[in-house]
């Protein structure tokens, strides 16, 4: 019997909110049957700064997708930016309390509490402390020390931290939009799912998502996500430079950039003049494609160089064996792969999700979320709208934790 599950993935980006509905057939094939897009308002650098405007953007995208599917969208799977979640390793040490030196659950509880003592940046909270191993009087590798005898109990623990304000606001905006949430998925995992081959992930590869407000760099090796960095640069900065430089509106600058821009000098067409209007819309003038290039290229080069510096911080002076894969809206810039190859001095490939109707890197995060959720069987069978906010929040965290552990363990 054919089994069909509908899975909805939502990418709340700085420039667009995108919702895709995927039909998963027998847990294998995926068809995208619904698409909803809206211009993103209320989000800056991947973070919600205006709840009501974000809710409006979400609602517009949801309505469009629901019209296309002809049904209400079920529980959503939502992407989160890597900077929202962090992992820190820490140690805890306590003296065993009982006189007969038998280790109790209370000792384990105390040592885990001791491991929680770390300096956290403002806004970060500890979501969970996961013991990697216990050490009893210097003997390491112990999984469960309860009942053992010893004087000193230590733990090597992994502490999961979350940028709580931004995550709470994300959940709040979805709640205000009347939407149920099934899972939060790291954007990096979602993109990796759809943009990279198994071999690339195994050999070692950087995946760079060049978005509107942020650039997320993910490093995969041995089949797993190993590291993430998020830079506050994106295509909107190029558009801003253009709007200011050409004294025109952001909208027109965006259109000119996409229609006529290039990042390679040899791609400039000699005799192309581009008509632009000033901010008031009254005065028209012409600019050459060379002039346009002069605004765009330095910014793009700067973005790529910042990526390169970040990769060096990961410990890479040379690219990993499978090179670099680019996705996100900016990866559509004419000539970008070539410029990136020059800058990174390694093979660079553009990601192209091959799904009907969404064959563009701007959809890779949303498609990836669906694929990730379907493949990892995290489709919740039933959700209750009545869950209170705290309950919902805890429930979601269980899922974020599951994903985080899935990757880094």
Binding site for Mg ion (CB under 5 A): 13, 211
- H/E run at residue 208: strand 205-210
83 lies in the site for ligand ATP, by CB under 6 A: no
| CB-based contact 216:326 (threshold 8 Å) | no
Q: Which stretch binds ligand ATP (CB under 6 A): 9-17, 242-250, 305-313, 395-403?
A: 9-17
333 lies in the site for ligand ATP, by CB under 6 A: yes
For the sheet with 152-163, list strands across it.
85-95, 152-163, 124-136, 139-142
* The CA-based dihedral angle spanning residues 65, 68, 70, 71, taken in that order and rounded to the nearest 10 degrees: -20
Q: Which stretch binds ligand ATP (CB under 6 A): 53-61, 302-310, 327-335, 339-347?
A: 327-335
371 lies in the site for ligand ATP, by CB under 6 A: no
Task: Give Rg (Cα) of the chain.
Answer: 24
d(CA 351, CA 161): 30
Which residue, chain included where needed, has tokens 């020390």?
A: 145
State the minimum distance, in angstroms, from the CB of residue 80 to ligand ATP.
11
Q: Which residues contact 324 (CB under 8 A, 6 or more apart)?
A: 205, 206, 207, 208, 340, 344, 346, 347, 348, 349
Select the residue interacting with ligand ATP from 362, 367, 374, 400 (CB under 6 A).
Answer: 362
Chain positions 14 to 73 lying near ligand ATP, rule: CB under 6 A, are 14-16, 40, 46
State the minimum distance, in angstroms, from the CB of residue 233 to Mg ion.
13
Closer residue to ligand ATP (CB): 74 or 261: 261
Closer residue to ligand ATP (CB): 40 or 289: 40
**Taking CB positions, which residue lies at the least distance from Mg ion?**
211
Select the residue interacting with ligand ATP from 131, 211, 320, 323 (CB under 6 A).
Answer: 211
How many positions of this chain bind ligand ATP (CB under 6 A)?
A: 24
d(CA 41, CA 101): 60
d(CA 229, CA 83): 7
248 lies in the site for ligand ATP, by CB under 6 A: no
d(CA 316, CA 323): 11
State the minimum distance, in angstroms, from the CB of residue 346 to ligand ATP.
22
Which residues sit at the interface with ligand ATP, rule CB under 6 A?
11, 13-16, 40, 46, 211-214, 234-236, 239, 254, 257-258, 328-330, 332-333, 362
């Amino acid at each position: 019997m054919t089994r069909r599950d509908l899975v909805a993935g939502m990418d709340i980006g700085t420039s667009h909110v995108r919702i895709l509905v995927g039909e998963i057939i027998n847990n294998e094939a995926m068809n995208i049957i619904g698409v909803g897009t809206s211009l993103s308002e209320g989000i800056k650098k991947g973070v919600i700064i205006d709840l009501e405007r974000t809710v409006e953007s979400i609602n517009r995208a949801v309505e469009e997708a629901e019209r296309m599917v002809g049904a209400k969208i079920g529980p959503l799977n939502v992407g989160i930016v890597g900077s929202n979640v962090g992992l820190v390793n820490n140690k805890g040490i306590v003296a065993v309390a009982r006189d007969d030196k038998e280790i109790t659950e209370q000792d384990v509880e105390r040592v885990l509490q001791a491991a929680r003592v770390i300096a956290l940046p403002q806004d970060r909270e500890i979501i969970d402390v996961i013991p990697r191993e216990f050490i009893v009087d210097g003997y390491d590798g112990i999984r469960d020390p309860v009942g053992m005898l010893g004087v000193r109990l230590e733990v090597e623990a992994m502490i999961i931290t979350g940028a709580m304000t931004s995550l709470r606001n994300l959940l709040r905006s979805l709640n205000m939009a009347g939407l149920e949430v099934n899972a939060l998925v790291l954007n990096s995992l979602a993109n990796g799912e759809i943009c990279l081959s198994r071999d690339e992930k195994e050999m070692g590869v950087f995946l760079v998502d060049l978005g509107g407000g942020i650039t997320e760099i993910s490093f995969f090796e041995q089949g797993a996500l190993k590291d993430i960095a998020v830079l506050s640069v994106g295509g909107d900065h190029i558009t801003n430079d253009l709007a200011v430089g050409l004294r025109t509106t952001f909208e027109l600058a965006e259109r000119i950039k996409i229609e006529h821009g290039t990042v390679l000098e040899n791609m400039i067409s000699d005799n192309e003049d581009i008509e632009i209007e000033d901010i008031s819309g009254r005065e028209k003038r012409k600019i050459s494609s060379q002039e346009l290039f002069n605004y765009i290229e330095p910014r793009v080069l700067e973005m790529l160089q910042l990526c390169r510096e970040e990769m060096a911080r990961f410990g890479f002076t040379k690219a990993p064996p499978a090179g670099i894969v680019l996705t996100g809206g900016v990866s559509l810039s004419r000539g970008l792969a070539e410029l990136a190859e020059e800058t990174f001095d390694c093979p660079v490939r553009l990601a192209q999700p091959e799904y009907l109707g969404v064959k563009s890197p701007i959809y890779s995060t949303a498609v990836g979320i669906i694929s990730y959720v379907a493949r990892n069987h995290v489709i919740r069978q039933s959700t209750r709208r009545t869950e209170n906010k705290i309950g919902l929040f805890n429930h979601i965290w269980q899922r974020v934790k599951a994903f985080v552990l899935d990757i880094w363990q």
